[in-house]
Structure 1
Amino acid sequence: MNRRFFIFLIISLALAPCFAQQSLKPFKTIESKAKKVKIDVLNNIYLITDNKVEKYNFSHKTIVNYNFQIPDSEMIVDVSNPFKILIFSPNNYSLKYINNQMTESAKTIYLDRFTSDNIPLVCTSYDNCFWLFNASEKRIERYNMSLTKTHQSSPIYLLSSEDFLPKHMVEYNEKLYLFIPNNGVLIFDKFAAFVKKIPIIFEKKSSFINNQFFYIKGNSIMIYNTKTFEDFKLIEMENEIADFDINQKFLAILQTDGKLTIYEIVD
C-alpha cells in the first residue's frame, strides 16, 4: 500500500464518527473466484462461489470447504451463528445448517413442502429459528425448527408506495433489517412489527453495525450514520467492489476481479 493511499484511509475514517479513533491496517490479500464474502463474530472469513463455501481461520491457519450438492448462483449463507451456519438455495427451496467444522448438522428443510409461496430470502433468528421473506404475500415470517410460524408482519407494500425487491436481510440485536436497493432499509422488531425505515440509497450490498450502515458505491465503501444522517466515504478500491462484510475487528472487501482484501480495524 502506498503512503498516499494509507493517508486517505486515515482521513476517511476520521470523518466517520464511530471510526474517529481508528484506522484500517492491511491484513491479508487472497486471489479467489468467489462472488460473495462473509465474516463471523469469531473473525473467520467465508468465500462463497456458486458451488462451495471456503472457510478461512487465520488464527489456526486452516481452510475448510463445504460443497453444495446443487450449484446456485443466488445461494444465501448466513454466518450470524458460526456454530450453526444457515445455507439457503432459492432455486430449490432447500435450507441447510452446517456446524463450525463445515459439516451438515441437521436434516435439510425443503420450504416448498409447507408453502407454495415465492421465498427468495431466508436468514437466521434467535432461539434456533429463522426468518423468511414471502415475496408472494410481501411480508416477513418467522418459523421455529418444527416449521411452526411464530410471527409474521403486515404486508410490506403498505409501508412503501414504491415497488421494491429486497436483496438481503439479517437479524441484529433482536431486530430484523430488510435491505431494499434504491429504496432503503426496513427495520422490524423481534415480533415482526414494523419499527421504521432508513432512507439510505444503495445499489448493491449494505451492512449494519454500531448504528451505522455500510454500503457499496462503485469502487468505494460508504458509511451512513443513523444519528447524524450523513454519508461518508470509508475507503476507495482500485476496482469495482462485488461484495464486502464487516465486524468489530475486520473489514473484508471482494472486488469484481476476485481479489479479496482484508483490513484490520485498529485503534
Structure 2
Amino acid sequence: MKYLIFALYFLSFSLVAQVEITPVLKQQDSLDVDIFIAKNNFENTYYIKNNALLKIKDNETLSYSNIQLGQITSVNTYNPLKINVFYANLNTVIILDNRLAEITKLDFNTSQPYKNISHISTGFDNTLWLFNQDFQYLELYDYKTRTTRYKTIPVTSKVLDLTSNYNYCWLLTENYLYCYNYFGSVVYKLKNENYTSIKSVNENLVIQKDNSLIFYNYKTKQFLPINLPNMLISQFFVTNQILYIYNRKMLYQYQLKTD
C-alpha cells in the first residue's frame, strides 16, 4: 500500500509538472525580410523579400521570382527537392528544385475539371494537398498524372491554415482543427479555440493562438503552452524539435523539449 501511494504521488507530480514547455534559446540573428518561411537541417534559410523567394546558405543566395503570377501566397519547403510556391490570385502552383529552378507549373485555371484553390501543402510522392474552395474539401492531387487520388468530406467554415507531412494533413478552420491521413480519412477533429496558425512536428503540432504558441501532443492529447518571452510572432517554423520565431527584426532559434 505504501508503494502504491508513492507511485501515485510521483505520477500525479509528473502530470502536474508537465503543464508547459520552456524552450531554450540557442541562437538569434538579425533578419530583414518580408516573410520568413523556413530553415532546415542543412542550414538553408528560406524567406520572401520583394515578392521573390530566396534561399540562403553560407554566402550563397538563390532566388526565384515570377512577377507575371502576382504576389506569392505561400511557400512549402517540407521536401527541399520539390518546393511548392503558390500564387492564389492566378490559381497556380510552381514546383522548384533545390536550386530554385522550375520543375513544373500547375495552372488550375486550365485543369479539367477546373479547381479553385485557396491553400496548398506537400503530400507524399508527387502529390499536393489542395483545398478546393468551390467544394470546400481537400484533395490529394497527383501532379504527375494530373489526377485527384482522394477527397475529404467537405467542411463548413472558413479555412485559416493548412500544413502536412508525408503521413498526415492538418486543416485549420474557424470552427475546427482536422487531422487527415493520406487516404483523406479524418483521424481526429478538435474545436478551434481561437487558433490562427499551425505547424506540424511529426505527429504533433505547434499552434498559434493570439501572440502565443501551444504544443499539442497527439499521443497524450495534451495542449502545453510554450513558455516564451513577450515578443511579436510574425512567423514561426518547427523542424526536429527546433522552433524558429521571426518578429520582423530578429530570427530566434529555440530548442524544444517535449518529451
The alignment's C-alpha RMSD in Å is: 2.6
Give the TM-score normalised by structure 1. 0.78
Contact 2:35 2:48 in 1 (8 A): yes
Distance 1:62 1:184, change over 3 A: farther
Contact 1:202 1:215 in 2 (8 A): no
Distance in structure 2 (CA, Å) of the matches to 1:64 and 1:235: 35
- The alignment partner of 2:67 has SS state of coil
Distance in structure 2 (CA, Å) of the matches to 1:51 and 1:70: 11
Identity rate, percent: 20
Matched, 1:167 2:165: no
Q: Which residue of 1 aligns with 2:78?
A: 80
Kindly name which structure, 1 or 2, has the bigger radius of gyration based on alpha carbons: 2
Q: Which residue of 2 aligns with 1:185?
A: 177
Q: Which residue of 1 aligns with 2:146?
A: 147
Q: How does 1:244-263 map to 2 (within 5 A)?
A: 244-255=236-247, 258-263=248-253
Distance 1:16 1:46, change over 3 A: farther
Distance in structure 2 (CA, Å) of the matches to 1:266 and 1:250: 6
Deviation of the 1:113 alpha carbon = 0.4
Amino acid at match of 1:197: K
Amino acid at match of 1:113: T
- The alignment partner of 2:184 has SS state of coil
Distance 1:74 1:237, change over 3 A: farther
- The alignment partner of 1:91 has SS state of helix
- The alignment partner of 2:109 has SS state of helix
Deviation of the 1:137 alpha carbon = 0.8
Deviation of the 1:167 alpha carbon = 2.5
Contact 1:214 1:223 in 2 (8 A): yes
Greater shift, 203-212 or 64-73, is seen at 64-73
Distance 1:202 1:61, change over 3 A: farther
Q: Which residue of 2 aligns with 1:112?
A: 109
Number of residue pairs aligned between Structure 1 and Structure 2: 239
**Structure 2 stretches of 5 or more lacking a match?**
1-16
Deviation of the 1:73 alpha carbon = 4.8
Deviation of the 1:265 alpha carbon = 1.9
**Structure 1 stretches of 5 or more lacking a match?**
1-13, 158-163
- The alignment partner of 1:88 has SS state of strand
Amino acid at match of 1:186: Y
Amino acid at match of 1:213: L
Deviation of the 1:203 alpha carbon = 3.5
Give the TM-score normalised by structure 2. 0.80
Distance in structure 1 (CA, Å) of the matches to 2:19 and 2:172: 22
Deviation of the 1:225 alpha carbon = 2.7
Q: Which residue of 2 aligns with 1:38?
A: 38
